[in-house]
Amino acid sequence: MPSVKQAAPPVRSRRFPSAIYFEKDAVARKALEHCVRIPHASYEKLDVGRMYGENVFVLADERLFADYLKQLRAPNIRVIAISDERFRDPRLDGTVYAYLPTNVPPRLLERMFDNAIDHIHLVQTRREANDKLASAKAEIYELNHIGAALSAEHDARALMELILTKCREITHADAGSIYLVEEVEELRGKGRELRRPKRFLRFKLAQNDTVQVPFREVVLPVSERSIAGYVAEHGSVLMIEDAYQMENWVPYSINKQFDIDSGYRTKSILAVAMMDQKNEVVGVVQLINAKRNWRAKLNTPEAMRDEVVPFSTRHMEIVSSLASQAAVAYENSRLYESIQRLFEGFVKASIGAIEQRDPATSGHSFRVQNLTVAMAEAINRDQGHFREVHFSRAEMREIRYSSLLHDFGKVGVREELLVKARKLYPAQLEQIRSRFECARWSLEKESMERRLRCLEELGAEAYRAKSAEIEGELEAKLKALEKALEFIESANEPSVLPEGSFERLNEIAALRYRGQDEQMHPLLTPEEVQVLSIRKGSLDTHEREEVESHVELSYNFLKQIPWTREIRNVPEIARGHHEKLNGRGYPNGLASRDISLQTRLMTVADVFDALAAADRPYKESVSVEKALEILGQMAEAGEIDPHVYELFVRERVYERWKSECPEY
């Protein structure tokens, strides 16, 4: 191989990727990092010109470069051609970064080298920047997605699972846990004044991809001795490279007993405080063992050595941001639960108010709720007529609230109507009884006066002969009076009257008695005759309209509540529980197509309880079998949904009549 002479301009060596240049009919190649080397055996066949340093050489035959096109097109290669003409081969021409004339000055050639290398560096820098930008966009998208998921989740347990899972995914952490801060206010002194709340950490959740961890909740003091306790105490972040090689001066340490018991190895740790909007610590997210490969299992010492890496500053920043979102979401979930408990308390208090006004039907709302929810659950399982119907969790809550509050409008109905067990109010019946007592007294008085006149006018002997007759007449009149009162009391019961009863009431109303004012008065007034003539139930037309108004009163009350979007149909569902599919229900006489399935469920539950409940003052209860029979007749008459009735019987929903109802 010819010796190398310093004939060509020197090339400055810098730590950049490769560059190549051609000189006249030959090529000079510079490869400072990833060079394409021509095999030494080729040198004997080529007219070698000059070589510049270890990685630069000159070749005479440009046709041989066709064999190196793939290498020349590499992103870290720049070809500078020193030629007065462009290469005829378009493939080789396509690799050229710049053409320079054969008489190019050395300094210009050197500057072109610098430009080529700078261009390589610029492209690489831009590529790295684009990669970082794409990574940042992906992180932002993922964080936004996680934030939306955290905001949408209201179940505290599911929220904790989501928080820990997402933190581990972002950091490639093999394991992790969540601790929640709890406060307990203590009383002291005779006045029982409050001391400063004592704080505890509740070990709420643990996840581990390598080993199965038997989890149980435990309560720990907020103490600097543990990593989570230290973070909770100071509201800080801890990033530990190796938990087994911490400095002696740090106050915290790990519990190695867990590693011993499980055969695990805790190495890198990232612990971040969950800070809410008040800048208060509500919990701690602790991540363990960041991995190079997210899917790797750390079940061998080699895997632990090769896969586990320290958590990065970027991990700390992302998890800190996510932990802040998680803290706010957790506080929102607790607030949501508090609102739920508040509303549940309001609903129960409302039901209590109804039952206090109508104690005879105590428990009716809860029983209707049990039956309605049980039917909705049965529909969700049904593979027959209702196989395409499924009530969501929100819809189940909607059904539950509407069935609980369907009778709330009774608070606007007169209490005497709600507890009216018979056709006459108790005071009215007492008034009638007083009249009959007065009539009895009047008959006895008249009989006594008749005896005295007989004694005065006819003498003692005639009186004795007449006395038995007068006594018999009195007893007959009193017995007739007693039978009339018995009939009135019988007619007062809320049952269907036999034929001829109305005439009998009119006959009694035609009877008169002499009052203390010596005037004649009727035993029954026309109004009382009208009330006692009610054929079914205990209410007259006006009273029934007033009681039926409870449906509209319930609707007007319920629609004033700012229901959430998920359960906004509660007022409408409750409003239709007295509607019938044949259009003969109330208050609106809705047709079948206008009555929702939820309302149809409640209607069956309401009718069943009204029939079978033993607490109705105006009727006797019937057996469950009889109640089902009556429901069947109503289904045949088109009053209730026959498919709902069939489900009610087939699934034996009535057995849930007095059971505990789940809360949705």
Is pLDDT larger for residue 464 or for residue 31?
464
For domain 153-335, give the CATH number: 3.30.450.40
Q: Could you give the C-alpha distances from 283 to 16, 219, 296, 464, in angstroms and in order?
A: 49, 13, 28, 106
Are the CB atoms for 574 and 531 separated by under 8 Å? no
The residue behind tokens 């037309």 is: 541
The SS3 call for residue 275 is strand
The SS3 call for residue 23 is strand
How many whole angstroms separate alpha carbon 204 and alpha carbon 209?
18
Q: What pLDDT, on the 0 to 100 scale, is given for residue 374?
A: 94
Is pLDDT larger for residue 389 or for residue 499?
389
Is pLDDT larger for residue 409 or for residue 76?
409
DSSP code string of 164-229: HHHHHHHHTEEEEEEEEEEEE--EETTTTEE-PPEEEEEEEEEEESSS------EEEE--TTBHHH
Would you state the structure tokens that stand for residue 383, as one six-digit string? 């593979």
Would you state the structure tokens that stand for residue 592, as one six-digit string? 């079948």
Q: What pLDDT, on the 0 to 100 scale, is given for residue 37?
A: 35
How many whole angstroms separate alpha carbon 371 and alpha carbon 605?
6
Residue 496 has pLDDT above 80, yes or no: no
pLDDT 10s digits, 326-376: 888 788 777 888 888 888 888 888 888 777 776 666 788 889 999 999 999
Q: What pLDDT, on the 0 to 100 scale, is given for residue 658?
A: 66
Point out the least confidently predicted range of 13-27, 220-234, 247-261, 529-543: 13-27
What are the boundaries of each domain within the chain? 19-123, 153-335, 358-416+546-656, 426-535
Backbone φ and ψ for 122, nearest 5 degrees, come out as -65, -45
Alpha helices in 252-312 (DSSP H): 256-262, 301-307
Q: Could you give the C-alpha distances from 18 to 25, 71, 113, 172, in angstroms and in order?
A: 21, 11, 10, 36
Residue 590 has pLDDT above 80, yes or no: yes
Q: What pLDDT, on the 0 to 100 scale, is given for residue 326?
A: 80
> Which distant-in-sequence residues (6+ apart) come within 8 Å of 152 by Cβ?
none
Cα torsion 463, 467, 468, 473 to 10°: value is 140
**Share above pLDDT 90 across residues of the chain, in percent, rounded to a whole number:** 25
Are the CB atoms for 434 and 411 separated by under 8 Å? no
Instruction: Report which residue type is found at 41.
Output: A
For domain 358-416+546-656, give the CATH number: 1.10.3210.10
Are the CB atoms for 147 and 166 separated by under 8 Å? no
How many whole angstroms separate alpha carbon 599 and alpha carbon 578?
9
pLDDT 10s digits, 191-232: 555 555 678 888 888 899 988 877 777 888 888 788 999 998
Q: What pLDDT, on the 0 to 100 scale, is given for residue 11?
A: 37
Q: Highest mean pLDDT: which of 330-334, 340-344, 510-514, 551-555?
A: 551-555
